[in-house]
Structure 1
């Protein structure tokens, strides 16, 4: 897909981190961008910077997502690109014993379900609604009607202690990539997923610098945290390359996560 001012994109989680970097990258080609996020302050500021539109969207809420797409399409037209970066995580063991009291507890299902709803169901909700919109468009000269890029995690393949919910949600994103790509193949819509490793995003913003350096040192090469711009580069290539379809690609400096 040739990126230019005739193309529109929706980026979930677009106000910061991986989503913001991807929005900036796409906008550098002239692409019109809509940012779906809950952080209105950052989202409005970035949308203004890029000449795009901010939509206050909660991906777990059907009406919120519908309203977001309606606002985005009214402002910049039907998107041909969807980048799914909205997500979160927690760190809770399946069952655990308190070291001091010996009290046994288990992972509360509502906390498990929250991660699934945001990372997995929220991603699918946006894919389904965006794909339906893309199907209303004529194919471009390259043959594409649209391109979708999802965000999983290396935790989908080597989740650490306490990451049962997070790994399950991201594993689900990986698992549905190929079936969705096949579902949409006759409609000329491509679907791919990136599995980022340890990236320097707002999730790590509060960590002390020595902690960040220690995390980066675990990466075989280059021994550092990933930069959001590197994610944006791969996401953009997945959109531009017409033969990129149905793939799940690790972007991690060759790291394989240890149990903890």
Structure 2
């Protein structure tokens, strides 16, 4: 799909993987709406790339619906949705203070898994009514899972469950959306230099990088964005989850 003048929505677009993807989409001529709870930071990125920032809680039905409507009002219905919004909580099932609070597990599932599904259901409805492009496609959806979906570590039960759910729903949704010419894909990144990891001491960053076979470093957000753009560009890529992890397989802890 050629992105020039096409509308795109990026959740979690204020920073990290989302911001990098938004920048790459805009560089290709897309009209980008950045959805995030951090509207101050999202607005900064939006002004940089000529897009718009919209406040959105992806886990809330009304908030997400209003954001999709606002994005369509500004740019028209989106042909591209990239789900990057997500959170992570490292907690053991049984910790020093007893069982993990159910609310902690619920929150991660709601933001990462339900939030991704929420955006997919809302964005693909108007997307399915667009005129097909020369390739026959009407749009592309890309979600963000994690290698933790496959080899989550101790303390990642909630995070791994949420990302595993994204992996699990990719193919059935792709099969359902095939009738509309909408492709559905997922990227499962490994250890990336996101704001969370960037805040760690250099010694901790080096320790994480040492576990990565090659290249032995943390991933760059632009490398995630590059894969997202290839997925959008390649019309035969559909229903797939791609690990972007430099062949990392995480140890139990």
What root-mean-square deviation, in Å, do the aligned CA atoms of Structure 1 and Structure 2 show? 0.8
Q: Which residue in the other structure is 1:101 paired with?
A: none
Secondary structure of 1:180's aligned partner:
helix
Aligned residues: 253
Q: Which residue in the other structure is 1:3 paired with?
A: 3
The gaps in structure 2 that reach 5 residues or longer are none
For 2:37 and 2:206, the matched residues in 1 are separated by 30
**Structure of greater Rg:** 1
Q: Could you tell me how far 1:234 is from its partner in structure 2?
A: 0.4
Q: What TM-score does the superposition give when structure 1 sets the normalisation length?
A: 0.96
What does 1:1-260 align with in structure 2 at a 5 Å threshold? 1-5=1-5, 7-96=6-95, 98=96, 105-260=98-253
Displacement over 6 Å in runs of 4+ = none
Q: Could you tell me how far 1:66 is from its partner in structure 2?
A: 1.0
Q: What TM-score does the superposition give when structure 2 sets the normalisation length?
A: 0.98
Deviation sequence 1:176-219 (CA, Å, 0-9, x none):
00000001001000000000000000111220111111111110
Q: Could you tell me how far 1:61 is from its partner in structure 2?
A: 1.1
Deviation sequence 1:126-154 (CA, Å, 0-9, x none):
00111101011010011110000000000
Secondary structure of 1:157's aligned partner:
helix
The gaps in structure 1 that reach 5 residues or longer are 99-103
